[in-house]
Structure 1
Amino acid sequence: MTSAGTRRWAQAAAVAATAVLLTGCMGTGDQLNVVGYGSPAEANSEVFNAFTQTSAGEGLAQAESYGASGDQSRAVGNGQPADFVHFSIEPDVTRLADQGLVAQDWNDNAWDGHVTTSVVVLVVREGNPDDITDWEDLVREDVEVVTPNPGSSGAARWNILAAYLSQIQAGGTEEEADEFTEDVVENIVAFPGSGRDATTSFLDGTGDVLLSYENEAILGLQQGEEYEYIVPDRSLLIQNAAAVTEEAPEEAREFLDFAVSPAGQEIYADFGFRPIAAAADEVDLGEVDGANNPAAPFPEVEQLATIDDLGGWDRVMEDYFGQDGIITRITEGSGLD
């Protein structure tokens, strides 16, 4: 791996962790407070820059705050200024809707509240020295796994659910999926607080395989990192939620409209995000640097599950991440924190 690249990721993680808001430099209405999970930070900035080139966004500045999705959602709920929120999972927006900070119908639109999408991938060392090809390799005795903590990270929830579902997709029972997930968790050697922190840990030499977003893997390669990523034939569609807050200025709604437009989605695609379904037919992908095949950057996944295959987020949060949920029981039993 490149030391310069590792420094770039570490710097990005530090910025996200400190969540500095650039306030006080402009008057109300001239600045948008953008709060989100760490993975789309670079892409959001580029989309925002493009938005300021339109009549709706001319003269606008942004104050950015990025970190682990759940932590960021709770911070907004506790008073952190936010006009536009972009989180890893829907429940982190729903939490704010329940508090009256976001409209109850925030996802009643053509894009179902999703601004970015991706899939779960396996990131391995350059040359793939451990010959990791699929989910089943994660439970080998000689393989160490890195993934973020589902207690704070939305990325972690997508990752661990994808591992669980991989066994259902292969024809296994729920009991077999439980056992497989337990075996994967036993091989976890690093459990950082966010997806971006997990990437930094892997780049620093921890583990043999990193569970990650496809877009995160592509971004790292764009920034000069030295690893490879595998898109399994069985994976989970990651759908990242975004909304404007109830007290946000009109510019925040116009920014959201731009983000989900073909122009906005083309920029997200350049950073490794798969276009959302609502705009996909009009998005001109071009070549995406860092992708395994830049000319065809987003390969079709043979078996691509969605959160609806598990009954939707309300059921998932109760059955898998609730106090007595399947994933909660497995992770707490492992002693990881």
Structure 2
Amino acid sequence: MPLPSVRRRTFLAGSVATTLAVTLAGCASAGGGGGDDDNRFFIVGFAVPEAANDAIFEKFQETPEGEGLELSGSYGASGDQSRAVVNGAQADYVHFSLEGDVTRLVDADLVADDWNSGPTQGIVSSSVAVLVVEEGNPLGITGWDDLTRDDVQVVTADPASSGAARWNILAAYGAQIAAGKSEAEAEDYMVELFDHVSTWAGSGREATEAFENGLGNVLISYENEAILTRQQGRSYDYIVPDSTLLIENPGAILKDANPAAQDWLDFVLSEEGQTEFVRKGFRPVGDVDIDVEVEGANDPSDPFPTPTNLLTIADDFGGWSATNEKWFDEGALYEQLRAR
């Protein structure tokens, strides 16, 4: 999916003014939202977009459709959050890292099977995989090949629980193929990379925290997570590799959702909603033209450089169904390479 443009203009990204409640409440009807409390809206999501969703919801509350609504949000590892909704966690809207985490809800009859039929195919936020390093980049990291150096210890999330980890691993592998390596050579690289991982974190956010605690010297992460970390006052650098993967995160409303859920999703995909994503470091999706400066980006006035090779799951990996079968199903390539 092509990325909309972000025009240059000076604008200082603001911080979220209020802290919104965080809860993961069970309910009698699995996945149901609303109920007798039509003024509360439940978001269940992966860890990374919490700040952006909070900022968007503040703007949504200023609209007639969102007036009077209160937000409860639960955030964690994408796969864990998806399974929690299947097991009864209350949700009106889900925002996950991976398509498969929404498909799990479709299979459980909690989300309509046409959830991804809209103009963005169900995608509500996007980013790219980047390499986060210590301030000043003392190791001189420039790209994926540096991650197998003897002096490098890598932090990444674990695919067993985290959607972010799957994006990270596929980005590293895809970059090797884009560089002209055979599949066997790319697999050998991945074995070396895994040998250099010092910390396999439970989620993308936990990986960032591990890096901050000095448990490695290169973090594989989302571009937006790197930008948000800098907005919050931490001093790190990040590198957008020449070859990297476009990260596309899905959002969907549940069948038994608060009546305001469709209005919320429409607002998320509007220019105003996507602007809040951009301010938090996400690349915009849909037919929008965002005109803000992004605090914390390497170049705030031109925050989202286009990599030389921008890989996608659809074009370079055959879609998520084929990718999961090859890489992440039980006994598939990821487990094989970890065991080598």
Normalising by the residue count of structure 1, what TM-score does the alignment of the two structures yield? 0.90
Per the alignment, in what secondary structure is the counterpart of residue 132 of structure 1? coil
Per the alignment, in what secondary structure is the counterpart of residue 232 of structure 1? coil
Moved >6 Å (runs of 4+): none
Q: Is the 8 A contact 1:21 1:63 kept in 2?
A: no
Partner Cα distance (1:57, 1:141) in 2: 53
Q: Is the 8 A contact 2:44 2:73 kept in 1?
A: yes
Deviation, 1:20, is 4.6
Q: Is the 8 A contact 1:199 1:210 kept in 2?
A: yes
Deviations 1:48-68 (A, max 9, x none): 110010011111111110000
Q: Tell me what 1:315 maps to.
A: 322
Deviation, 1:22, is 11
Alignment of 1:1-337 (within 5 A): 19-21=23-25, 27-276=36-285, 278-279=286-287, 282-308=288-314, 309-331=316-338, 333=339
Deviation, 1:284, is 2.3
Partner Cα distance (1:245, 1:27) in 2: 16
Deviation, 1:328, is 2.2
Partner Cα distance (1:33, 1:286) in 2: 29
Q: Is the 8 A contact 2:132 2:236 kept in 1?
A: yes
Partner Cα distance (1:27, 1:268) in 2: 31
Deviation, 1:196, is 0.2
Per the alignment, in what secondary structure is the counterpart of residue 79 of structure 2? helix
Deviation, 1:285, is 3.0
Per the alignment, in what secondary structure is the counterpart of residue 76 of structure 1? helix
Per the alignment, in what secondary structure is the counterpart of residue 291 of structure 1? coil
Per the alignment, in what secondary structure is the counterpart of residue 249 of structure 2? strand
Give, as a single letter, the amino acid of the residue that structure 2 aligns with 1:30. Answer: N
Deviation, 1:283, is 2.6
Deviations 1:58-94 (A, max 9, x none): 1111111000000000000101011000000100000
Q: Is the 8 A contact 1:22 1:64 kept in 2?
A: no
Q: Is the 8 A contact 1:88 1:154 kept in 2?
A: yes
Structure with greater helix share of residues: 1
Q: Tell me what 1:9 maps to.
A: none
Please report the RMSD computed on the Cα atoms of aligned residues, expressed in angstroms. Answer: 2.0
Provide structure 2 residue ranges, at least 5 long, that are not aligned to the other structure.
1-18, 28-33
Partner Cα distance (1:283, 1:60) in 2: 28
Q: Which has the higher contact order (CA 8 A, sep 6+)?
A: 2
Partner Cα distance (1:147, 1:301) in 2: 21
Deviations 1:12-42 (A, max 9, x none): 9xx99x855599x995211111000010001
Deviation, 1:286, is 1.4
Provide structure 1 residue ranges, at least 5 long, that are not aligned to the other structure.
1-11
Per the alignment, in what secondary structure is the counterpart of residue 103 of structure 1? coil
Per the alignment, in what secondary structure is the counterpart of residue 248 of structure 2? strand
CA change 1:199–1:54 in 2 (3 A) is: same
Per the alignment, in what secondary structure is the counterpart of residue 131 of structure 2? strand
Question: What is the identity percentage for the equivalent residue pairs of Structure 1 and Structure 2?
Answer: 49
Deviation, 1:250, is 2.3
Give, as a single letter, the amino acid of the residue that structure 2 aligns with 1:216. Answer: E
Normalising by the residue count of structure 2, what TM-score does the alignment of the two structures yield? 0.89
Q: Is the 8 A contact 1:21 1:64 kept in 2?
A: no
Give, as a single letter, the amino acid of the residue that structure 1 aligns with 2:330. Answer: Q
Q: Is the 8 A contact 2:35 2:258 kept in 1?
A: no
